[in-house]
Each structure stands twice: as structure tokens, then as C-alpha cells.
Amino acid sequence: MDNQKASLKKIALNYGLLLGLASIALSVITYVMGVHLERPWWASVIGIIIMAALIVYGLKAFKQDNEGFLSLGEAIKVGLAISVIAGILGAVYNYVFVTVIEPDFVAQMMEITREQMIEQNPTMTEEQMEMGLSITEKFMSPGIMSAMAIIFTLFLGFIISLISGLIMKQNRPEGY
């Protein structure tokens, strides 16, 4: 059992760091390309594919370290541990990005949101628009954005771990 805990920590740290760094690299690529404000669909798809691949490889490594056995609970634990580390790393990067690298990010996003609101609801009054923008602005604070990034990463990690765990599970025999 201690070997299993050591394996979980090692795998979560290794794959969590890899996932966090891959997510940061993807964010840097979108920033360098100048499309970070548009949140392109392809970046989201690539991010999900990378996350799924690294969680699956992490589960495979854990299963290999545990004599070929992997329960659904272990799969979820490993996947969530990988996700927590990646989520924290990504949230720290996001916070640094919004506060240091691109301090106008929130203002730029608010302007884009305003333009989208006008485009989608041309009859909206100025008062309604200001109310909508004030609510949006509260969710765009660096702390809230970082917390939401961690929550989203955990949610997605849970779903990927659950599906992967159901596919990869191999329970230990009763007397093993």
C-alpha cells in the first residue's frame, strides 16, 4: 500500500507538471499568435486532447506500477491528482499573465464582451448593458479567473478519469 501511495504521488507530480506545462505552452502559443483574446476553438480542442492523453498515460503508468491492477477509485484519484497539480500550475500562470504579462487583458476582454453584447442584443439599453458588464467584470478578476480555471480543470479531469478508469480498470482478485 505504501508503494501505491509513492506511485500515486510520483505519477501525479510528473504527469501534472507535464500537463500544466503543456497548457502554459498552448497559452503562450495563442498569445504569440495574437489570438488569446478570441479564445479559438482549436486551442480548446488541443488542450482537451493533451489533457486526456496525459491523464490516460498517467493511469497506464499507475496501473503498470501496481502489477497491472487499477480500480475505478484509483483511476479517479490519480486523474484528479494530476488535474490538481496541472490546475494549480495553470492558475498561477494565468494570474501572472493577467497581472504582469498582459495587465490590460481584463479591460480588453470587457471591450470584446461589450461589442458582443451590442452585436447580439442591439435593442439592449445602456443600463442593461452596464449591469451585464458589471457582473462579467466581477468574474474577470485575476483571483476568480484562477479559481475557475482550477475548478474547470478538476471537472474535466474527473470526467476523463472516470471514462478512462471504466475502460482501463482491472480489479485485484479477491485473495490477491
pLDDT of 163 reads 98
Q: How many C-beta atoms lie closer than 10 Å to residue 74's C-beta?
A: 21
Q: What is the pLDDT of residue 2?
A: 57
Whole-model pTM: value is 0.86
Short-list 2, 6, 1, CA closest to 61: 6
Domain ranges of the chain: 2-168
Q: What is the pLDDT of residue 176?
A: 59
Which pLDDT score is estimated for 1? Answer: 54
**What is the pLDDT tens value at each position of the chain, 176 positions in all?**
556 666 899 999 999 999 999 999 999 999 999 898 888 899 999 999 999 999 999 999 999 999 999 999 999 999 999 999 999 999 999 999 999 998 898 888 888 888 888 888 888 888 888 888 888 888 888 888 889 999 999 999 999 999 999 999 998 887 65
**What per-residue confidence (pLDDT) applies to 139?**
82
Residue 89: closest CA among 7, 8, 158, 23? 23
> What pLDDT is recorded for position 5?
64
Grid coordinates representing 135? Answer: 457582473
pLDDT of 45 reads 96
pLDDT for the residue 88: 96
pLDDT at 150: 94
